[in-house]
Amino acid sequence: MRPDVAAWLARARADAEGRGLTALVPLLEALARSTAALRDANFDAGPDGPAETTHARDAAE
Amino acid sequence: MPVTLPSSLRDAAGLIERRDLSPVELTRACLDRIAAVDADLHAFITVTADIALADAARAEREITAGRYLGALHGIPVSLKDLVDLGGTPTTSGSAVPPRRPDRDAVVTANLRRAGAIVVGKTNLHEFAFGTTSDETAFGAVRNPHDVSRSPGGSSGGAAVSIVERMCYAAVGTDTGGSIRIPSAACGIVGFKPRIGEISTDGVVALSTTLDHVGPMAGTVADAALTYFAMRDGHVRQADVAGLDNDPVTVGVPGPYFLDTLDPEVRRLFGDARATLARAGHEVVDVAIEHAERTADVYLHIVLPEASWYHAALLERHADKYSPGVRLRLEMGRYVLAEDYVRAIHARAALGRAVDRALERVDALLLPSLAIPAPPIGAASVDVDGAKEPVRAIMLRLTQLFNITGHPAIALPMGRGRDGLPRGLQLVGHRGSTNELLAAAIVVERQLAGKEAS
């Protein structure tokens, strides 16, 4: 798992357990996998090639 | 003498317009039907018999005086119990204290202005946050085709109210598929219009970005009539008579939408596709980029938006929620803002991808539900030898079009060898809802012709 998502999961798990919501932990683990997939996805890569991203627009200003 | 219930909303409307059937007789017959069968099915939370009979009596006086309002005048309808009816509690299917609206939701007011008769508030998956209508404070809703099974959800009670002819149209809501999923599981028509076409004012929210309001009914024409009334506050039979688009060109998206299907869904969808092609309609294969990321985008929008809506209620009434619903609401509190914004940006890309898939076709054609109605309480189901979580597999084919806002309609495509209904789905261009309804009428007619032969 990506280190940033793994760190998020560790914090979320600790918080859920501290609140007595241990049943939440498996759901948070599934959410972490989904978050990693979302962060890894490149939605700007359409069939016509990468679209201009916000980052690119900011860099151009 | 007991009234023989008409088989469709259009038939009922014709009889009422010709004064061969009184709105009071029809309403009373529907209320009797609810009393006779609903104790075991739990489709309704509140039956508004007094309001319904008073409104039906007024409709009868108006029609007798020559003031016929149109196709919904005197027609019994139900409202999912997220939709406000002034003076009646909106329970959201929950033990959390209900809201008590003093006025109708906009969609309710429009239907009543068109002359519709509200017979009651239907049961649902609590706060619309589920696909099976079995996490509810008012008894799990049961599928009339097999009472050990769920009718789907979250608009499960609404679907059952149509199947059992407790009313002729139902108002549902659809955030990830909650109109189309129960429609497929129960063998009826369920229509999710384009985002924003039907007002959500007076409807309890799940996710303000993804929520849609729409009709459920026995046929596409009945759903279309109800949609026009929900949107405009009036409708005529002629509004639907002109909807036709023969022949149609449809695009079947793959592989994400076709790779995980119950074998009977796969068989019936293949049959439907072949029937359309043999009849001269063009059926082509299309692709939707990034479709495999649909569930990730959906989750990172619906979870934080639902948690936002429920934040104050969770602080005061956490113990009153169904455990599963409460946990999903708690999950939303952990989604980081950057991932929510990431998902909102992805939404635009997915919208463009669906637009591209639609470029050379009238509509997309795909199944609406990958599995038959699941057993009540099941957390997972076997799909062609693989174990799949129920919620995820039920949302798989519908949730993309909540993200993008394209109009989408579920209609029956026959029964499997197990006797359970299966449904297909048509998805239309943004801004072309009438064209989608026209295509659906053609497809429905074609499939009905095949079943009759």
Q: What is the residue extent of each domain of chain B?
A: 1-453
pLDDT band, residue B219 (cuts 50/70/90): very high
Mean pLDDT of B227-250: 88
Residue B189 · residue B421 · CB < 8 Å:
no
Chain A partners of B130 at a C-beta cutoff of 8 Å? Answer: none
CA distance A36 to B337: 15
Amino acid in position B192: K
ω into residue B412 within 30 of 0, thus cis?
no
CA distance A16 to A14: 6
Beta-carbon neighbour count of residue B246 at 10 Å? 14
CA torsion sign for B452, B171, B321, B34 is negative
CA distance B239 to B279: 26
* Half-sphere CA count of B416, side-chain side, radius 13 A: 23
Which residue has better confidence, A54 or B383?
Answer: B383
User: Which CATH number is B1-453's, of 3.20.20.370, 3.90.650.10, 3.90.1300.10, 3.90.220.20?
Assistant: 3.90.1300.10
Q: Which residue of B has its CA nearest to A44?
A: B349
The predicted structure's pLDDT at residue B238: 82
The predicted structure's pLDDT at residue B244: 79
Between CA B217 and CA B226, with CA B220 as vertex, the angle to 5 degrees is: 55
Question: Any catalytic annotation for residue B178?
Answer: yes
A11–chain B nearest CA distance, Å: 10
Q: State the DSSP H helix or E strand holding residue B285, giving kind and residue range, or none if neither.
A: strand B282-287
A41–chain B nearest CA distance, Å: 8
CA torsion sign for B313, B315, B316, B321 is positive
pLDDT at B413 over 90: yes
A47 touches chain B (CB under 8 A): yes
Question: Any catalytic annotation for residue B80?
Answer: yes
Residue B306 · residue B329 · CB < 8 Å:
yes
Mean pLDDT of B442-446: 95
What is the reported pTM? 0.95
Q: Chain-wide mean pLDDT for chain B?
A: 96
Q: Percentage of chain B surpassing pLDDT 70?
A: 98
At A45, give phi and psi (nearest 5°).
-90, 85
Mean pLDDT of B49-61: 98
The predicted structure's pLDDT at residue B4: 76
User: Tens of pLDDT along B307-361?
Assistant: 999 999 999 999 999 999 999 999 999 999 999 999 999 999 999 999 999 999 9
List the structure tokens of B433. 């809802």
Q: Which residue of B has its CA nearest to A38?
A: B296
CA distance B424 to B401: 14
Q: Percentage of chain B surpassing pLDDT 90?
A: 94
CA distance B129 to B78: 20
Residue B361 · residue B414 · CB < 8 Å:
no
Which residues of A, range 12-31, sit inside 8 Å of B by Cβ? 12, 15-16, 21, 23-24, 27-28, 31
CA distance B185 to B193: 19
Q: Which residue of A has its CA nearest to B326?
A: A24
The predicted structure's pLDDT at residue B99: 97
Contact flag A46-B295 (C-beta cutoff 8 Å): no
Q: What is the pLDDT along chain A (61 residues), one digit of tens a residue?
A: 889 999 999 999 999 999 999 999 999 999 999 999 999 999 876 554 444 444 444 444 4
The predicted structure's pLDDT at residue B451: 54
